[in-house]
Amino acid sequence: MSALRSLPELPDVVTATPKPTVYIETYGCQMNVADSELMYGKLVAHGYAPVDAPDGADVILVNTCAIRENAETRVIGRLGELRRFMKPDTIVGVTGCMAQRLGARVLDQARHVSLVVGPDGYRALPALLDGARRGEKFTATDFDIEEHYEDVVARRFEGVKAWIPVQRGCDYRCTYCIVPFTRGPERSRKLADVVREVQQVVEQGLSEVVLLGQTVNSYHDGAHDFADLLRAVGTVDGIRRVRYTSPHPNDFSDRVIEAMATTPTVCEHVHLPMQSGSTSMLKRMLRRYSREDYLECVARMRAAIPGLALTTDIIVGFPGETDEEFEDTLSLCREVRFDDAFMFKFSAREGTPATRMPPEWTIPDDVVATRFDRLVRTVRGISRENNLGRLGETMELLIEKVARDGELLQGRSRDFKTVMVPADAARIGEYLTVTLTGTTGATFTGTPVTERRERAPLPMMGA
């Protein structure tokens, strides 16, 4: 994920001394985006002013990802680059998963960094920054399984939808994955706290929420499961679209699928990480399901939710991957016909069980590259065929932003299709009904079919 670009304008407050400014650059997943919003919220409450560029900021925080080696290499490069934006008294901090993983090693590698703070340490940021101003250096990487930042009001910058963390950490132990080490054990927020936040989001004029968790459908707050949460969030007045990411195939109980199918605001899209299509490989990955279990899960969901779009994550080149196992991954893609997939080359992460597998299991780079290429072509081919079959359909979009070409607007359908439409930028944040007129294979172009403006319904006073 790239750095966040725009920030809401600050209210005009006349103060005797200018507020210290803070710039946060975010890498990695949506959970990191949500965490950056929390950090901004925490720091704004302590008198900081957010800015949208590092140039001359009093505090620069880099919120990092550790999932693959290249995510960390990018951050190390960026930390070097950031030096040129620093004033003599600028404080640079590294937060997030890479901070948690490397701890004090970051301070040794990048001398201009004063703070290293893991995902459970953001509450202490104002105090740590005060200390750093006095010349001290800090590493804060303890886990806190009670921490949900419940009293921190997130400062959101995404214009049209809200990221809502509902669960932190992960109790699975997939053998390739660093997340359980960087984000600690799984814990869920109380349902009532999530609902309250969703109500606040509606009051701010947003109508789409994305519930976030590492294995979000294993959500359980002691009294309520994910089915209860979907129903509760999905029936908040003014909410029009509910999404969630990322679920684990093993946590799709019939209750959860039923809640999804019967709550009209829950969108017809599931991002269902598959990782591999081979049962023996899934076993080595410790995914705790077989190819057949995965297919059965897909079948149950498709039977309950007509028009369900499915996307996935796939890893290529995990230790010991045989030709047959890789072919199984390709064949599962053909069988499920995913709408889209994020595909990754396996990256060995220090401390994970995969690094202790026999060295002769390592797949040579050229084999990984060839397999990766075949996988990408297979997935893209299927998604192109799927998309060509959708031309002429009419669907509702939430207009999200100006498209990259600068002319068209970009919107999302309920089933997660990206559609470019000619419309005035004033329509960002509105729902627009369009007919799909073209596809690049991956994204669509569409034409509005109605001139009737539809804003998300705002909550009625006293309702």
349 binds ligand 5AD (CB under 6 A): yes
Q: How far apart are the first and last CA of the chain?
A: 38
- Nearest-angstrom CA–CA distance, 203 and 161: 13
Angstrom distance (rounded) from CA 191 to CA 407: 41
Give which of ligand SF4, ligand 5AD, none residue 214 binds (C-beta under 5 to 8 Å, depending on kind).
ligand SF4
Q: Which amino acid is at 293?
A: D
d(CA 58, CA 129): 10
Tokens of 71: 């995510």
Is the CB of residue 195 less than 8 Å from the CB of residue 201?
A: no
Identified binder of ligand 5AD from the candidate list 100, 214, 265, 275, rule CB under 6 A: 275
* Rounded least distance, CB 245 to ligand SF4, Å: 11
Q: Do 16 and 149 contact (CB within 8 A), yes or no?
A: no
Which one of residues 48, 176, 252, 294 is an interface residue with ligand 5AD (CB under 6 A)? 176
What are 278's two structure tokens?
Answer: 């081979």
Nearer to ligand 5AD (CB atom), residue 355 or residue 370: 355
Residue 182 found at the interface with ligand 5AD (CB under 6 A): no
Exactly one of 214, 347, 378, 439 binds ligand 5AD (CB under 6 A); which one? Answer: 347
Given the DSSP bridges, would you call strands 418-421 and 409-413 parallel, antiparallel or unpaired? antiparallel
Binding flag, residue 177, ligand 5AD (CB under 6 A) = yes
DSSP bridge partners of 309: 269
Give dist(CA 333, CA 205) in Å, integer: 39
With respect to ligand 5AD, which residue has the nearer C-beta, 67 or 267?
67
Q: How many CA atoms lie within 13 A of 277 on its CB side?
A: 21
Residues 122 and 112: beta-carbon distance below 8 Å: no
- Owner of token pair 């006349």: 14
Q: Which residue has the tokens 């946060």?
A: 24
Single residue of 215, 245, 311, 383 touching ligand SF4 by CB under 6 A: 215
Residue for token digits 């994305």? 210
Among 143, 219, 344, 372, binds ligand 5AD (CB under 6 A): 344
Per CB under 6 A, 214 contacts ligand SF4? yes
> Whose Cβ is closer to ligand SF4: residue 215's or residue 413's?
215
- Shortest distance, CB of residue 190 to ligand 5AD, whole angstroms? 26
Interface stretch with ligand SF4, choices 133-141, 177-185, 329-337, 400-408 (CB under 6 A) = 177-185
* Residue from 206, 315, 332, 423 binding ligand 5AD (CB under 6 A): 315
Q: Which two tokens mark 399?
A: 């207009």
Residue closer to ligand SF4, measured from CB, 129 or 166: 166
- How many residues of this chain bind ligand SF4 (CB under 6 A)? 10
**Residues 230 to 249 in contact with ligand SF4, rule: CB under 6 A:** 248
Of 170, 212, 310, 333, which lies in the binding site for ligand SF4, with binding defined by CB under 6 A? 170
Which residue spans within 284-330 are E strands per DSSP?
Answer: 309-316
Q: Which of 313, 327, 396, 415 binds ligand 5AD (CB under 6 A)?
A: 313
Choice between 205 and 353, CB closer to ligand 5AD:
353
Among 24, 66, 68, 72, binds ligand 5AD (CB under 6 A): 68
Of 241 and 271, nearer to ligand 5AD (C-beta) is 271
Dihedrals φ, ψ of 234, to 5°? -65, -15
Helix (H) or strand (E) holding 95: strand 91-96
| 71 vs 117 by CB, closer to ligand 5AD | 71
313 binds, among ligand SF4, ligand 5AD, none (CB under 5 to 8 A by kind): ligand 5AD
Among candidate residues 124, 197, 116, the one with its CA nearest the CA of residue 163: 197
Query: In whole angstroms, what is the distance from residue 391 CA to residue 374 CA?
Result: 26
> Which CB atom, from 136 or from 365, has the smaller least distance to ligand 5AD?
365
Select the binding partner of residue 21 from ligand SF4, ligand 5AD, none (C-beta < 5 to 8 A, by kind): none
C-alpha to C-alpha distances, 311 to 179, 269, 271, 275, 339, nearest whole angstrom: 21, 8, 5, 12, 5
203's tokens: 């009051």
Q: How far is the CB of 260 from ligand SF4 (least distance, A)?
A: 20
Binding site for ligand SF4 (CB under 6 A): 170, 172-174, 177, 179-180, 214-215, 248
Q: By CB under 6 A, name the binding residues for ligand 5AD.
A: 67-68, 176-177, 273, 275, 313, 315, 344, 346-347, 349
